Structure 1
Amino acid sequence: MTGVTLVLDLPAWLTAGQRDTISALAERNDAAHGDDLLGLVLSGSAARGLATERSDLDVVVVLTDDAAEGRSTDKSPEVDEIVDSWSELTTVPPFGTEHWWSRWSYAWAPVLLDRTGGELAAAVRRLATVTPEEADAVLIEHDRLDGWVNFAYRALKSVRDGRSLEARLDAAESVPWLLDVVFTMAGRVRPYNKYLAWELRTHPLEDWPADELLGLVERSLDGDADALRETFARVRAACAAYDDRRGHTRTTDMVDGWRDQLAVFEDRA
């Protein structure tokens, strides 16, 4: 396949300079690897149309396992050339493992070149998708739901007892747990903080309108007791809907297991 003109599917928002950089990278890798070059994926800010004059390009070069053996990430001011072997790309790291954090880098990431007949594009989508079984594990086995309830509960107790600093600290710490819960229930990997508002507005969550969720997050970061209580009511409703879809009651049971301690969420304690 070396020597054949490469046809790249480049997003319309890329600048002429970015297009030239990607085309040169593609041609260089095609010349070096031929049929072992399986595809290219754009990630980072440029992939989401959020690049600034300070942004570089993040391009994932997908190679066969043998070809990737002698390659590593190559960084320059213009482009980070990130090498993925086919085995790496098609391995889905579970929540809590070393490479879980990298899964969102493939969310909404344009595939610029796919020589696998669509398998590469499917692998990219899979990395950013949480299966129902994975969702159960994240929410229940890894305690992200219980953890959010715990931090929100502690924050509300501190509000009740007049400890404003402690309330703000626990409320702020609850936010990452909340976002894991919200995105996991939607079957998606939680975005990096930098891209949270962008994802919510560009790829809305059905039950969490962007401005409403972002507002609750901001108010929670301030230790706002009403925000925590409003969020709890929405999370509880989300659990009922999630359990209904899954055909079990596990998330509802987890929340109900707090029993009388839930009174703090209703301003009764």
Structure 2
Amino acid sequence: MLLDRLNGGIAELVDRQATLSAEEATLHARTNLDAYINQLYRCVKSRRDGFAEAALLDEAESLPWLLETVFALHGRLRPYNKYLRWELESFPLPGHWNTALMPDRVRTASLRLFPAVETLARCHGHAEVFEGWGSDIELIRAFAETAAADHSRPHG
């Protein structure tokens, strides 16, 4: 801000647009979490039914929802993709999220990160989103567990 003729009023408005209120963060997280789950559900159904390429596309399409969800659960707005690394380095998220969401890692980790997203979301009071999926959520959990196990195996 180079000039604020409103004695800080313009700076306050700019700051307000860059952050989420607690109510906004809750609503934003809940909405995006449901979309993330929906896209992962499409992914795992494609995997289950033998459509590997479709599953990869579905998982890739879940990434924006994943990022929106995790940032909202931390009371923040998701940065543009080109600023994601800078944002995480300049304003780190707590715990493993900073590393997990780095562009070189997250692009293939949406399904693997599901258990961590579920834990984080439940800690923030969003259990009903998962419960709303009924037994279908178990399919995502099973494939997420397999994806995590496959990722942790040495490749050789």
- The unaligned stretches of length 5 or more in structure 2 are 144-156
Moved over 3 A (4+): none
Deviation at 1:207, TM superposition (A): 4.0
Q: Percent identity?
A: 39
1:112 aligns with 2:2: yes
Instruction: Report the Cα offset of residue 161 of structure 1.
Output: 2.4
Q: Which has the higher helix share?
A: 2
Residue 2 of structure 2 aligns to a residue in which SS?
Answer: strand
Tell me which residue corresponds to 2:42: 154
Bigger strand share: 1
> CA RMSD for the aligned pairs?
2.1
For residues 41-83 of structure 1, what are the alpha-carbon distances to aligned partners after superposition, in whole Å with 9 as ceiling and x for unaligned? xxxxxxxxxxxxxxxxxxxxxxxxxxxxxxxxxxxxxxxxxxx
SS of structure 1 residue aligned to 2:59: helix
Correspondence 1:234 to 2:116 = yes
In the TM superposition, residue 255 of structure 1 has moved relative to its aligned partner by 1.1
Give 1:197's aligned amino acid.
R
* Aligned position for 2:146: none
2-structure distance, mates of 1:209, 1:235? 10
> What amino acid sits opposite 2:13 in the alignment?
A
Q: Quick one: higher RCO (CA 8 Å, sep 6+), 1 or 2?
A: 2
Cα 1:185–1:266, aligned 2, differ >3 Å: closer, same or farther?
A: closer
Gaps of 5+ in 1: 1-110, 221-226, 244-250
Please state whether the residue corresponding to 2:84 is helix, strand or coil.
Answer: helix
Alpha-carbon shift at residue 216 of structure 1 (Å): 4.8
For residues 241 and 266 of structure 1, what CA distance do their matches in structure 2 show? 17
- Structure exhibiting the larger radius of gyration computed from Cα positions: 1
How many angstroms apart in 2 are the aligned matches of 1:131 and 1:165? Answer: 39
**Map of 1:66-215 to 2, 5 A cutoff?**
111-140=1-30, 143-214=31-102
Q: Distance in 1 between matches of 2:51 and 2:87?
A: 34
TM-score, normalised relative to structure 1:
0.49
1:217 aligns with 2:106: yes
Structure 1 CA distance, aligned partners of 2:51 and 2:105? 21
Q: How many angstroms apart in 1 are the aligned matches of 2:100 and 2:27?
A: 27
Task: Tell me how far apart the structure 2 counterparts of residues 122 and 182 of structure 1 sit (CA, whole Å).
Answer: 25
Match of 2:154 in 1: none
Structure-1 separation of matches of 2:32 and 2:97: 21
Aligned mate of 1:266, from 125, 132, 141: 141
- In 2: Cα distance, 1:118 partner to 1:193 partner: 30
Kindly provide the CA deviation profile for residues 13-66 of structure 1, in whole angstroms up to 9, marking residues without a partner as x: xxxxxxxxxxxxxxxxxxxxxxxxxxxxxxxxxxxxxxxxxxxxxxxxxxxxxx
Aligned length: 143
Aligned AA for 1:242? H
